[in-house]
């Protein structure tokens, strides 16, 4: 006796569910009445629901207006062939505003439900983000190599310059002339410090299990000590975050660089607003199924530095993490570049969003856990 469609569908879902859940694209399966048979993990995240919550419910209950998606489904069902549409505008009822997506709908006879179709939805914004991050990570690796080569070429002559200035100072009897050699030595030392910063740590990260909030509290105290008058530091932590495997000093330095960058923006803002204070928020969250460059991570810690300063100038946004790029006359252009380098040593990434009155820098740090198969993720 043939299996009932519902039993066959359950068997297929059980076999394919693990594969579909590993995809970064959202996958939904609906029957001919547009009732939901299945959502994968990515679809749960996209629509802000759980599969158990909506299984058997109409697809229209996920969207404020499902007409655009219904049109694609009708086309695929009518022709019995896959049909795709690019850059559809969808607004999930439980999501975070409008999404621009690419959508492919194909008949799915394997479900055992007559007229069922499989809907694959790719966040077009996510694709752009992955492309941008991959390019950024490639640029980080290339610039790191170039800068180290350049730094070594600069550092060697600086040692000779400093030594020559010291020898010259010993030969000079005129104190006023020795002031010039003091300036040379001082500037040589400053350049050596700058070069050392460019070179970064000379060792691999010394990682240990660390509570990220412990590091944030430390960074917050340091920032508060130098905060401009009227600036408030707020904290919004997710206490459920498990420990991360990090190099304490490297991550503290990266977070300090971001925090100081925010404080400088707030100081500028206060100067433009008669000393009225600004606000810096230190925030943590746990994110699931996040792509960092081309690699997907099941669980990622998000550490945010959000300020209400003037925002990042438009002309700097594409090159903000490049070395020696700065919007301040007194800046070195190294703080964000070094922070990005230090975070990348933990397989992480720093990204930002900015508009006047709200700038958010986000550190993404993957949790390297071992699942039951023994594979790290």
pLDDT score for 7: 53
Write down the CATH number for the domain with range 5-123. Answer: 3.30.450.20
Is the dihedral angle over the CA atoms 320, 324, 325, 328 positive or is it negative? positive
- Backbone φ, ψ for residue 239 (5° rounding): -70, -10
- In the chain the beta strands, taken as DSSP E runs, fall at 26-30, 36-39, 83-90, 99-107, 117-123, 208-210, 232-236, 244-246, 279-292, 295-307, 349-355, 358-366
Residue 267 makes CB contacts below 8 A (sequence gap 6+) with 228, 231
List the 83-90 sheet strands across, edge first: 36-39, 26-30, 117-123, 99-107, 83-90
Angle at 77 between CA 73 and CA 80, to 5 degrees: 130
pLDDT score for 372: 35
What residue segments make up the domains of the chain, in order of their start?
Answer: 5-123, 129-199, 208-366
Residue 308 makes CB contacts below 8 A (sequence gap 6+) with 266, 269, 278, 279, 357, 358
Residue 280 makes CB contacts below 8 A (sequence gap 6+) with 223, 231, 232, 233, 234, 259, 262, 263, 266, 305, 306, 307
Report the alpha-carbon distance of residue 266 to residue 278 in Å, rounded. Answer: 6
3-class DSSP state of 5: helix
Strands 358-366 and 349-355 come out as antiparallel
pLDDT score for 14: 56
3-class DSSP state of 308: coil
Contact 107, 80 (CB under 8 A): yes
pLDDT score for 161: 84
- In 7-140 the beta strands, taken as DSSP E runs, fall at 26-30, 36-39, 83-90, 99-107, 117-123
Write down the CATH number for the domain with range 208-366. Answer: 3.30.565.10
Q: What is the pLDDT along the chain (377 residues), one digit of tens a residue?
A: 434 445 545 555 555 667 787 777 889 898 888 888 888 888 888 888 888 888 889 888 888 887 888 888 888 888 888 888 887 888 888 766 677 788 899 988 776 677 888 999 887 766 666 666 666 666 666 666 666 676 677 777 888 888 888 888 888 888 888 888 888 888 887 777 766 666 666 667 788 999 999 999 999 988 888 887 788 899 999 998 999 999 888 899 899 999 988 888 888 666 565 556 688 999 999 988 787 776 778 899 999 999 988 888 777 777 677 766 665 655 556 778 888 888 888 989 898 888 888 889 999 999 875 433 333 44
The full DSSP string for 311-376 is ---GGGGGGTTSTT--SSTT--S-HHHHHHHHHHTTT-EEEEEEETTEEEEEEEEE---B-TTS-B
pLDDT score for 216: 94
Number of other CB atoms surrounding residue 329 within 10 Å: 5
Q: Which helix (H) or strand (E) holds 256?
A: helix 248-272
pLDDT score for 139: 66
pLDDT score for 374: 37
User: Is the fold of 5-123 the same as that of 208-366?
Assistant: no
Burial (0-12, 13-18, 19+ Cβ within 10 Å), 321: buried
What is the 8-class DSSP label of residue 57? S
pLDDT score for 373: 35
pLDDT score for 242: 92
Alpha-carbon radius of gyration of the chain: 27
Report the alpha-carbon distance of residue 194 to residue 153 in Å, rounded. Answer: 13
């Amino acid at each position: 006796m043939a299996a009932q469609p519902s039993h066959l569908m359950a068997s297929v879902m059980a076999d394919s569910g693990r594969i579909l859940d590993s995809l970064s694209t959202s996958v939904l399966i609906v029957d001919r009445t547009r009732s939901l048979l299945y959502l994968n993990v990515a679809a749960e995240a996209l629509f802000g629901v759980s599969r158990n919550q909506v299984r058997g419910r109409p697809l229209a209950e996920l969207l404020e207006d499902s007409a655009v998606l219904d049109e694609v489904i009708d086309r695929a069902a009518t022709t019995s062939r896959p049909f795709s549409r690019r850059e559809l505008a969808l607004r999930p009822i439980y999501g975070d505003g409008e999404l621009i997506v690419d959508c492919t709908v194909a008949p799915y006879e394997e479900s055992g439900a007559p007229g069922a179709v499989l809907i694959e939805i790719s966040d077009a914004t996510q694709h752009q983000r992955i492309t941008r991050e991959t390019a950024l990570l490639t640029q980080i690796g290339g610039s790191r190599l170039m800068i180290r080569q350049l730094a070594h070429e600069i550092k060697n002559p600086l040692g000779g310059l400093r030594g020559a200035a010291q020898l010259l100072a010993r030969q000079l009897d005129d104190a006023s002339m020795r002031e010039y050699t003091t300036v040379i030595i001082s500037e040589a030392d400053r350049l050596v410090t700058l070069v050392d910063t460019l070179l970064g740590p000379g060792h691999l990260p010394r990682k240990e299990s660390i509570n990220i909030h412990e590091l944030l509290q430390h960074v917050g105290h340091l920032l508060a000590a130098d905060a401009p008058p009227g600036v408030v530091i707020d904290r919004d932590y997710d206490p459920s975050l498990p420990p991360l495997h990090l190099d304490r000093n490297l991550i503290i330095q990266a977070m300090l660089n971001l925090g100081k960058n925010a404080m400088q923006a707030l100081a500028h803002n206060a100067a433009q607003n008669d000393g009225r204070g600004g606000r810096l928020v230190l925030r943590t969250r746990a994110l699931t199924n996040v792509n960092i460059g081309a690699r997907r991570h099941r669980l990622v810690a998000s550490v945010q530095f959000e300020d209400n300063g003037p925002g990042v100038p438009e002309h700097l946004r594409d090159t903000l993490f490049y070395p020696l790029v700065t919007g301040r006359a007194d800046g070195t252009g190294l703080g964000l570049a070094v922070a990005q380098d230090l975070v990348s040593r933990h397989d992480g990434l720093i990204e930002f969003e900015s508009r006047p009155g709200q700038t958010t820098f986000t550190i993404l740090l993957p949790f390297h856990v071992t699942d039951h198969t023994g594979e790290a993720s």
